Structure 1
Amino acid sequence: MTISDDVVDQASQCLRNIGAALAEAGATFADVVRVRYLLPDRADFEPCWPVLRECFGAVRPAATMLECGLADPAMKIEIEVDARVPAA
């Protein structure tokens, strides 16, 4: 398992992981109601916008971006979501 040096690549990978977890739960990005972006350097957030818009542009969940340290210095972004799983 390797971590790209590029924050946009890392954001894309986060979103792929989130998409897989949502699918496993029977949900999609359309079901996301809250998203948190965690970055060691807030300047890295803006380059990620095009990738983030692909998943959240039409959904527009409540969102927070925090500048903070992450567990591994190689990590440049972490994305957390809360989703409302549709009733079966």
Structure 2
Amino acid sequence: MAPLSRQELAASTLADPLGVRVAAVSQHLAQLRTLGLVPPRREGTRIYYRMGPAGVRRLLADVRRLTDARENDDHEALGPASSGT
């Protein structure tokens, strides 16, 4: 997702450095598009994607929620805080 937050990219541009098939990246981008995270722009036969502002906000909110949940789980695993006495 980080590359899409900086610039528009086609699925093929994302697939090469990841070492995955373009079809796999296209399918993932289609799911992200459905969620409203990456609005597409068509140029000829290519579709370019970029993370939209709503996508950035949603992604950051999800990361915060997961981080908070993880921190709560870690604190619960440690047990009650000691009183220091």
TM-score bracket for the superposition, by shorter chain length: under 0.3
TM-score under structure 2 length normalisation: 0.27
Q: Which has the higher helix share?
A: 2
Larger Rg: 2
- The structure where strand makes up a greater share of residues is 1
Q: TM-score, normalised by structure 1?
A: 0.26
